[in-house]
A and B are shown apart, each in its own frame.
Chain A
Amino acid sequence: MSALLSPIKDVHSERRLFLSRVILAAVVSILLLGAVVGRLIQLQVVDHELFAEKSQGNRVRIEPVAPIRGLVFDRRDRVLAENLPAYQLELIPEQVDDIDDTLNRLAAINLVEFEDIPRIKDLSRSGPRFKPVTLRFRLTDEEIASFAIQRPRFPGVDFKPRLVRHYPDGELISHAVGYVGALSTDDLQRLDSAAYAGTSHTGKTGIESSFEADLHGDAGYRHLIANARGRQVPSDTSELLDSLPFDETPMPGANVYLTIDLDLQRIAAQAFEGRRGALVALDPQNGEILALISAPAFDPNLFAVGMSTSQYRELSENPDRPLFNRAVRGTYPPGSTIKPMLALAALETGATNLTRKTVCHGYFQLPNIEHRYRDWKPEGHGPVDLHDAIAQSCDVYFYEISTDIGITNMHDYLTRFGLGSATGIDISGERPGLVPSVEWKRSNFRGDDRRWYDGETVTASIGQSYMLATPLQLASAAAALATRGKRYRPHMVAAVEDALTGERRMIQPERLPDVEISNDFYWQTVLGAMHDVMQGPRGTARAVGFGAPYEMAGKSGTAQVVSIAQDEEYDDAELEDRQRDHALFISFAPFDNPRIAVALIVENGESGSGVAAPIARAVMDAYLGYGDDAS
């Protein structure tokens, strides 16, 4: 209230100050609105003719033109992904009065699924209102005919020709090439909106996703003449077109050439018929992936054409998980397939030598501990040396030397072969797997479990004890064995080709650090033992290698899905099918000059040498030209 009592002089000066500020504000206001008036005079009087002409020639619509997506080829130039013409149903949001009503009526005549309506409404709100939203990606001839009759009932909805991504070999290449799917609202926020104006699909997995930037290209645009009802009229009937700015032609996407061999891919896929699992075959001399299979697979055309919500649910909720890429994302205990690598580690660190022999009685015990670590062969292998331990896959020999190698050396050598970290393959989503170590256990467990126990070292020697690897990693490790330590980064893309100039950018193999072993004789012993796995008199997979016209090497593995308690009988009849052991196999051929390395897993296949090895042989036969249908 003191303000009311303050001297009158102040009140007067305050009023004067306020008045001067109001005058200032009024002047600023007049200047600002005067600027708008000036602009209006410029637009409506000075440049009126120009804009009048533009609006006359308006009826001009700028329409984005999507680029043609690059093609994908296999290593022998066979098409894996192409573009085929099809009719799609589109809706232009700004031309539709009541989107809900229109969609419901379209659903009533089965042109749209009721379940898809929320997704479509979401899309129609996210983009500019003049940009068409696709309701259905491929209409059948009957649907085109039935919509053509009813078209007057649906202003703003029309069908339009476009190119649909097509994978001629569908399931066969689904996990390698991946697929394109309709742009989602998330994609629209992530991608460059100018380059994707007019584009409806984007790569979602595999090569389609990782080479999206090359495959997609850049949008162009053209100017269209529309009549008074807003519908497009053919541009060549109008002389107005000459006064328009030039159209910009889209830049087509680049073609991508893969290292994949479609024939080999087919042979491998056939071998997996009715099974779950994965296979990776690569060229050990450069890391090129020759085949990449994950079974069961799915038809990527479903994603490219667009499927209903129920179709998608069926795929995504299938217990066999067809959408899951086991080759790069499936991690499994590698089992005995790591024995050759551990043998090298043992020789190099002096944990064993080439003459040491042990007598295998079918089990092994650590000093002062009751627990029996069993061999897969209950009666034992008898006297074995390192060669026999690999060729016959004797577990006891490895149990015995395991604590002398030690978990730290195991971790060290397996890591050099590329296990435990992503290989860096040129498709995304790869899992790193796991090679356990003392530090790893200390930082991932609590209390007493933080310690690394000797017993864990024992089971680690046969690829159990937390150890996990992807089929891709095992293939890469098999390749490193084949080349006696030379390693290349696995990759699937050989070249990217500019669609306009035909200029090819070759992708050079990337050399990785070698696995260095001091004595070449160690390599000879270990690889010789792997040779005898398949072609020696007592090899575990000798039945598979028998009678082959070339020399090969391999190693089987079996990975437990459930752990068996002590003294409990292993009775596989009682086990659910999905709890049977996984069957693994790694191999390479020809023995003296390896050209292919293969790793695979058959989920619940039980026997590495009996179930997995024959698939590896079939793939190697085909690639080396000894297959059934070899020409």
Chain B
Amino acid sequence: MRLSETQRMFTDKAAPLSDFGSILRRLHIDGPLLGGLLLVCGFGLFILYSAVGENNRLLVNQAIRLGVAFVAMLIVAQLPPDFLRRWTPLGYLAGLVLLVLVLMIGEVSQGARRWLDFGVRFQPSEAMKLGVPMMAAWFLHDRQIPPRIGQIAIVAVMIVVPTVLIARQPDLGTSLLIAASGVIVIVLAGMSVRLMLGLGIAAIPGALVLWSFMQDYQKQRVLTLLNPDSDPLGAGYNIIQSKIAIGSGGMFGKGWTNGSQAQLEFLPERDTDFIFAVLGEEFGLLGVLTLLALYMFIIGRGLFIAVQARDTFSRLLAGSISLTFMVYVFVNTAMVTGLVPVVGVPLPLVSFGGTSMVTLMAGFGILMSIHSHRKLLPH
């Protein structure tokens, strides 16, 4: 069956391919980006099946979440960038109001206040993952680029306010990622390298002051993160086990569903934050390089779309979405391989769980919209 189909595609390629292409264009979908996403998600489900202990119910669950996320992407792709830009300030303000509401009346779950329930349960901080870079890009849109210091300060306020609100929930991981997505906009807008270096140097004494204000137990926690072997029963356990899993995978891995670290449950959180270690154990260096290559392709395509974009808003936003995605991938893989301290960031599109999946795919929808609406308007 499959052979004959492939054959037909090669022999009779002109007609079906151009049909396919025009359908994608009409749906405002970027073919290469869609292909990259489908490959990562498909590979992800494959790994997940092994990581959840061959549990079909959980796998179907995840597939449904992915489906919902793809639909969200499709819908967002239909909205032209100008439309998105016009509604950005209002959406951003609404997001701020919701964040304040969360702190006041949000539902408490596992010690943090993150959810709002108006019939539908949702996390306003998720919306701000897109809201903050959009607002920053909106503000810089009709201004002279590179921005002056005063303008950068205004954008900084737009970033800091939601960041602080989210950090208070408390959700430090998300708030830092959101801050990063806003900072990326400023950097892409051409903030001078000298200013960046200056701020970076100014941050060092700031960190020292912060350290001196920290309680002993907080310092201890930071030190444990930096040296996991000092606490083999607590925070260090995850990292020790994840390094064993990845290292024992070698070049080609132990084979699908054959990783002893993952299958014997020595590896904690193997289906969520540490799923990259399952991949490393069962598919080896070859497997992780394949996944990283797919991620690189998606990031590269995103940056290409940003460069091609027709206005400042679209350029900055597309660049920020792509690079934030890169930050996710880096933070998770660096954490699982023990390069950076353990922070709870899932591996995008692969880890089990769906709260952030929809936001992520909506972001890709924006990329597609930016790319596909490009030619419909005068340059």
From A60, which residue of chain B is reached at the shortest CB distance?
B266
Interface residue SS majority, chain A: helix
When distances are taken between beta carbons in the complex, the residues of chain A under 8 Å from B284 are 44
When distances are taken between beta carbons in the complex, the residues of chain B under 8 Å from A219 are 233
Query: Contacts A40-B288, A62-B232 given: A2-B237 contact, CB under 8 Å?
Result: no
* Most chain B C-beta atoms within 10 Å of own C-beta, residue among A1, A3, A25, A64: A25
Decide if A55 touches B261 in the complex (CB within 8 Å): yes
When distances are taken between beta carbons in the complex, the residues of chain B under 8 Å from A19 are 307
Decide if B265 touches A94 in the complex (CB within 8 Å): yes
Cα-based distance from A93 to B246 in the complex (angstroms) = 24
When distances are taken between beta carbons in the complex, the residues of chain A under 8 Å from B281 are 55
Decide if B233 touches A194 in the complex (CB within 8 Å): yes
Decide if A51 touches B248 in the complex (CB within 8 Å): yes
Interface string of B257-297 (1 = CB under 8 A from A): 00011001110100000000000110011001100100110
Decide if B285 touches A41 in the complex (CB within 8 Å): yes
Which one of A3, A26, A33, A45 lies within 8 Å of B141 (CB-CB)?
A3
From B300, which residue of chain A is reached at the shortest CB distance?
A26
* Count of A-B residue pairs with CB < 8 Å: 158
Which one of B188, B249, B266, B300 lies within 8 Å of A44 (CB-CB)?
B249
The number of chain B residues with a CB under 8 A from chain A is: 59
From residue A186, how far is it (CB to closest CB) to chain B in Å? 12
Size category of the binding interface on chain A: 35 or more
Judge whether A119 is part of the interface by a CB distance below 8 angstroms: no
Which one of A18, A50, A62 lies within 8 Å of B233 (CB-CB)?
A62
Cα-based distance from A33 to B276 in the complex (angstroms) = 14
CB-CB contacts below 8 Å: B315-372 with A = 315-316, 319, 323, 326, 329-330, 333-334, 337-339
Cα-based distance from A230 to B265 in the complex (angstroms) = 8
Cα-based distance from A194 to B333 in the complex (angstroms) = 27
Judge whether A78 is part of the interface by a CB distance below 8 angstroms: no
Decide if B296 touches A33 in the complex (CB within 8 Å): yes
Query: Contacts A39-B337, A125-B110 given: A22-B231 contact, CB under 8 Å?
Result: no
Cα-based distance from A55 to B244 in the complex (angstroms) = 6
Query: Contacts A36-B339, A44-B249 given: A58-B333 contact, CB under 8 Å?
Result: no
When distances are taken between beta carbons in the complex, the residues of chain A under 8 Å from B323 are 25, 29
Query: Contacts A3-B141, A59-B264, A64-B233 given: A33-B285 contact, CB under 8 Å?
Result: no
Query: Contacts A21-B187, A36-B333 given: A193-B244 contact, CB under 8 Å?
Result: no
From A229, which residue of chain B is reached at the shortest CB distance?
B264
Interface string of B207-249 (1 = CB under 8 A from A): 0000000000000000000000001111001000001111111
Judge whether A440 is part of the interface by a CB distance below 8 angstroms: no
Cα-based distance from A472 to B237 in the complex (angstroms) = 49
Query: Contacts A21-B187, A39-B339 given: A221-B233 contact, CB under 8 Å?
Result: yes
Decide if A194 touches B231 in the complex (CB within 8 Å): yes
From B245, which residue of chain A is reached at the shortest CB distance?
A55
Cα-based distance from A2 to B312 in the complex (angstroms) = 13
Decide if A36 touches B190 in the complex (CB within 8 Å): no
From B232, which residue of chain A is reached at the shortest CB distance?
A62
Cα-based distance from A531 to B247 in the complex (angstroms) = 84
CB-CB contacts below 8 Å: A263-284 with B = none
When distances are taken between beta carbons in the complex, the residues of chain A under 8 Å from B42 are none
Interface string of B177-210 (1 = CB under 8 A from A): 0000000100111100000000000000000000
When distances are taken between beta carbons in the complex, the residues of chain A under 8 Å from B184 are 25
Interface string of A185-201 (1 = CB under 8 A from B): 00000000110010000
From B243, which residue of chain A is reached at the shortest CB distance?
A43
From residue A620, how far is it (CB to closest CB) to chain B in Å? 49
From B315, which residue of chain A is reached at the shortest CB distance?
A18
When distances are taken between beta carbons in the complex, the residues of chain A under 8 Å from B243 are 43, 51
Cα-based distance from A129 to B333 in the complex (angstroms) = 22
When distances are taken between beta carbons in the complex, the residues of chain A under 8 Å from B187 are 21, 25
Decide if A22 touches B319 in the complex (CB within 8 Å): yes
CB-CB contacts below 8 Å: A473-499 with B = none
Interface window among B5-13, B118-126, B142-150: B142-150
When distances are taken between beta carbons in the complex, the residues of chain B under 8 Å from A95 are 265
Give the top 9 A-B pairs by smallest Cβ distance, nearest first: A51-B247, A3-B142, A55-B248, A43-B247, A51-B248, A44-B285, A197-B233, A14-B145, A39-B337
